Amino acid sequence: MKQSDYLMQQYALIKAWENEEPGVVSKTFGKLLSPVGKLISVVVPEKVIESAINAANAAAQYLTDTDDVLRDGKVESIDELRTKNLKLCDQMADSVHNWAIGVATTEGAAVGFAGLPGLVADIPFITTLALRTIHKIGVCYGYVADANNEEEEKAFVLGVLATANASTLGEKASFILGLKQISLLIQRNAWKKLAEMGTANLLAKSIVSVRQAAKLIGVNLTKRKASQSIPFIGGAVGAALNASFINDIAWAARRSYQRRWLEENKVIEPEASVDE
């Protein structure tokens, strides 16, 4: 397949993913386990998830290993991947995707047998793994948080996290629009300028707060993990649910960074405006 054909094929897949309904628990199943879900939210409150997000995001540049990406990408610096070859980036992202699912599955099975008490450790762990997965997939496409771009890159990561945890297609579309706006602001080097102006109205609309992300994850994981709270059967359920959650996270990261890569390389036109 020609490189140009591959790029357009991936763009079509990005559009398909953007229009895909979020993977959520059925209403009937959710109602049946609603009392358990409420108990989970007491045992693992949003503040715990918020702390996990803050800690993982703060340590991202130290926790995210780049040596394997530099080696497999055959580049001297991560930035080179932003213009090198999308197929190569996709292959490396796929490896990260599979690694993350493996880690999530193993941990979910281990703590799932403990039932509800196991969720106290499981939910912060899976939240941290989600952030690490997004950051590492970003590295595969040439995007890494450092002292010069830390604020905007972490805002993009939170946007991906929110998108993966959206409960409706409309909510998902809103977060995707925010990601498109953040991407365009970064491309135009307008992020810091807007922040310094103090008007930052567009920034406020585009950025997902840590608190908002924690709430979304709390709702999503509570629905998914209600059945995991049942001891003994929770091991198999925990493994499957953790794998499903991280799979959603990884695809959101891959499609979001793919779009950003395609826009920066002028393969597609930006679908957002920063003139508001």
Give the Å distances, CA to CA, from 21 to 16, 24, 25, 171, 271: 10, 9, 12, 10, 20
pLDDT at 113: 56
Residue 221 counted as domain residue:
yes
pLDDT digits (tens, 9 = 90+) for 217-253: 777 776 665 555 555 555 666 678 888 899 999 999 9
Number of domains in the chain: 1
Tell me what the mean pLDDT of segment 158-170 comes to: 91
Q: What's the whole-number mean pLDDT along residues 87-104?
A: 96
The answer to whether 227 touches 236, Cβ cutoff 8 Å, is: no
Mean of pLDDT over the chain: 80
pLDDT at position 18 over 90: yes
- Residue recorded with tokens 């135009």: 188
Higher-pLDDT residue of 93 and 27 is 93
The DSSP line for 251-267 is HHHHHHHHHHHHHHTTS
Q: What is the pTM of this model?
A: 0.85
Per-position DSSP letters for 124-189, written without gaps between them = HHHHHHHHHHHHHHHHHTT----TTTHHHHHHHHHHHHHHHT-SSHHHHHHHHHHHHHHHHHHHTT
Residue 152 covered by a domain: yes
pLDDT digits (tens, 9 = 90+) for 134-154: 999 999 999 998 877 878 888
As a whole number, mean pLDDT of residues 203-217 equals 71
On whether residue 21 sits in a domain, the answer given is no
Is the residue at 216 inside a domain? yes
pLDDT of residue 4: 84
Query: Token digits for 181?
Result: 């706006």
Note down the domain range covering 209. Answer: 46-264
Q: Is residue 274 part of a domain?
A: no
